[in-house]
């Protein structure tokens, strides 16, 4: 009998625990309560723990929303005959929902291919949630992806303390006995081919460059979309020839996207370079390289790879949006505007609020401040919790010398973001300081000295931008 276990989000099995693995070769529409009906992947996992007991899991996953449902065999500790019966029931169960499944033949694969399979299939790690895209993280970085910070061994089966307890409850053993050891470390990946040193990250950025990069990344919540552009996993049966090559390529793409989500930019470059060696026009690898170089502050390389990604798939909006951000930073705002207008015509683009926001930035950098303000106003009417929009509106309206709009934008930011229980944890001191500083300058422009003083004092206490806030405070009349 299979029962849903709502406490599970993944199965942190190690390689030696896996005795059976099936995956769907199609993605039928399935309704997951609370998330709705969407194309869904299915996986069946059989495990054997250190005590010799077997357990069967059915894992349903909606890639777009990150929704996960896990069914577990009851009883959880099965003998060999019980395992076979539960595995057959699990196969009938998923087939009844319209899934066609393929046996991965996991036990027959060499260890390095087993590692690749475990990197590709999502059930072995916490789901990469699509985050609340309304606010970049502290320092202007993209919003967190929800992917756990795992070391390499953890990614390929090693267990954290939390995962060990999770695994114990799921019916599989926790940390292995000393005789079991840890899964072999796959070792360092090959050196990159696109010019980045394997020994070191890019040279450290100076403070001004960091601020510019922070603003750049904040424009489109770059990490919020790390997992959204990945191509669908190849699910044909393992074997030689082109099918095996395709499976390896897609395994590297999935691994590269995980490395992007964890901020391992150089590792991601190495991984995507392996994909480009096999398929120089692979759109996901090209976009991933653009994103990695962007986060390293290397805009020339980022622009080049983004342009190649756009050329590889002219209908794909994600690299167009991100390329537009690079172009805005470089002052090529008219070209960015054209790209963003194309993105906004794509009804399937999952984060149109970022394209709207970036288009306002492109208009502002061409001196069309009134148009930019209007776009941001309309965006925030539709999406009042898109916090990044308030910060940009405050900046644009300050440049346009519309202090009332600046003050209102910061008041709305405070109400909808700083005071919102679901969002305020994502609001960093830097976000708050930006609005306090701009509001203080707006009050000063209107001659409201006391309100300006209060805003500058709040800005000063927030930490970032403190020097500018202190200087502005000192310039106020007593």
Residues 114-125 pLDDT 10s: 888 888 888 888
Q: Residue 156: what pLDDT?
A: 24
Share of the chain above pLDDT 90, in %: 40
Q: What is the overall mean pLDDT for the chain?
A: 77
Beta strands in 33-113 (DSSP E): 36-39, 41-48, 54-61, 68-73, 101-103
CATH class for the domain made up of 400-478: mainly alpha
Is the pLDDT at 381 greater than 90, yes or no?
Answer: yes
Average pLDDT of 314-327? 93
DSSP 176: P
Q: Residue 191: what pLDDT?
A: 41
Domain ranges of the chain: 2-127+129-170, 400-478
Q: Residue 107: what pLDDT?
A: 86
DSSP 282-338: -HHHHHHHHHHHHHTT-HHHHHHHHHHHHHH-TT-HHHHHHHHHHHHHTT-HHHHHH
The per-residue pLDDT for range 33-92, each reduced to its tens digit, is: 777 788 899 999 999 887 788 999 999 998 877 888 999 998 888 888 899 999 999 999
What pLDDT band is residue 243 in, cutting at 50, 70 and 90?
A: low
Q: Is the pTM of this model over 0.75?
A: no
Q: Residue 31: what pLDDT?
A: 83
The span from the CA of 232 to the CA of 125, in Å, is: 17
State which H helix or E strand residue 155 sits in.
helix 152-155
In terms of average pLDDT, the best of 185-194, 223-232, 334-343, 426-435 is 334-343
What pLDDT band is residue 251 in, cutting at 50, 70 and 90?
A: confident
* Cα torsion angle, 222, 68, 27, 106, sign: positive
What's the number of CA atoms in the CB half-sphere (13 Å) around residue 128? 25
Is the pLDDT at 225 greater than 80, yes or no?
Answer: no
User: Cβ of 197: how many Cβ atoms within 10 Å?
Assistant: 10
Question: Are the C-beta atoms of 70 and 8 separated by less than 8 Å?
Answer: yes
Average pLDDT of 237-260? 70
Which phi and psi (to 5°) does residue 17 adopt? -80, -20
**161 to 154, 176, 291, 374: CA distances (angstroms):** 11, 12, 32, 51
Between 375 and 189, the higher pLDDT residue: 375
The per-residue pLDDT for range 256-311, each reduced to its tens digit, is: 888 888 788 888 999 999 999 999 999 999 999 999 998 888 889 999 999 999 99
């Amino acid at each position: 009998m299979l029962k849903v276990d709502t406490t599970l989000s993944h199965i942190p099995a190690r390689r030696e625990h896996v005795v059976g693995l099936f995956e769907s070769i199609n993605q039928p529409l399935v309704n997951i309560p609370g998330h709705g009906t969407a194309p869904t992947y299915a996986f069946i996992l059989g495990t054997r723990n250190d005590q010799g007991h077997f357990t069967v899991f059915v894992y349903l996953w909606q890639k777009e929303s990150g929704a996960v449902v896990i069914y577990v065999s009851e009883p959880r500790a099965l003998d060999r005959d019980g395992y076979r019966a539960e595995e057959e029931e699990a196969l009938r169960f998923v087939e009844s929902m319209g899934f066609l499944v393929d046996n991965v033949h996991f036990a027959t694969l060499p260890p390095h291919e087993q590692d690749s399979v475990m990197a590709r299939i999502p059930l072995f790690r916490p789901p990469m949630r699509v985050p609340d895209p309304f606010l970049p993280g502290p320092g202007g970085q993209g919003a967190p992806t929800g992917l756990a910070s795992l070391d390499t061994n953890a990614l390929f089966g090693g267990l954290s303390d939390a995962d060990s307890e999770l695994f114990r409850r799921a019916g599989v053993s926790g940390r292995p006995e000393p005789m079991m050891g840890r899964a072999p470390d796959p070792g360092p990946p090959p050196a990159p081919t696109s010019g980045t040193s394997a020994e070191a990250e890019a040279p450290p950025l100076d403070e001004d460059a960091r601020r510019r990069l922070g603003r750049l990344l904040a424009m489109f919540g770059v990490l919020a979309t790390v997992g959204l552009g990945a191509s669908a996993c190849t699910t044909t049966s393992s074997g030689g020839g082109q099918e095996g090559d395709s499976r390896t390529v897609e395994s590297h793409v999935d691994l590269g996207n995980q490395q992007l989500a964890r901020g391992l930019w150089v590792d991601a470059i190495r991984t995507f370079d392996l994909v480009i060696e096999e398929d120089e026009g692979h759109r996901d690898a090209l976009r991933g390289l653009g994103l990695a170089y962007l986060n390293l502050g290397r805009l020339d390389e980022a622009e080049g790879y983004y342009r190649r990604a756009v050329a590889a798939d002219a209908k794909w909006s994600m690299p167009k949006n991100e390329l537009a951000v690079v172009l805005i930073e470089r002052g090529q705002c008219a070209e960015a505007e054209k790209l963003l207008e194309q993105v906004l015509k794509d009804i399937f683009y999952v984060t149109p609020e970022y394209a709207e926001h970036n288009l306002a930035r492109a208009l502002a950098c061409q001196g069309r401040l009134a148009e930019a303000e209007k776009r941001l106003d309309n965006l925030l009417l539709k999406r009042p919790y898109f916090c990044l929009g308030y910060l940009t509106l405050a900046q644009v309206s300050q440049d346009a010398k519309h202090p009332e709009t600046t003050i209102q934008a910061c008041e709305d930011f405070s109400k909808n973001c700083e005071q919102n229980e679901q969002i305020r944890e994502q609001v960093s001191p830097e976000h708050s300081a930006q609005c306090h500083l701009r509001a203080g300058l707006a009050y000063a422009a209107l001659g409201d000295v006391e309100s300006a003083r209060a805003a500058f004092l709040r800005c000063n206490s927030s930490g970032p931008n403190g020097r500018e806030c202190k200087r502005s405070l000192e310039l106020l009349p007593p």
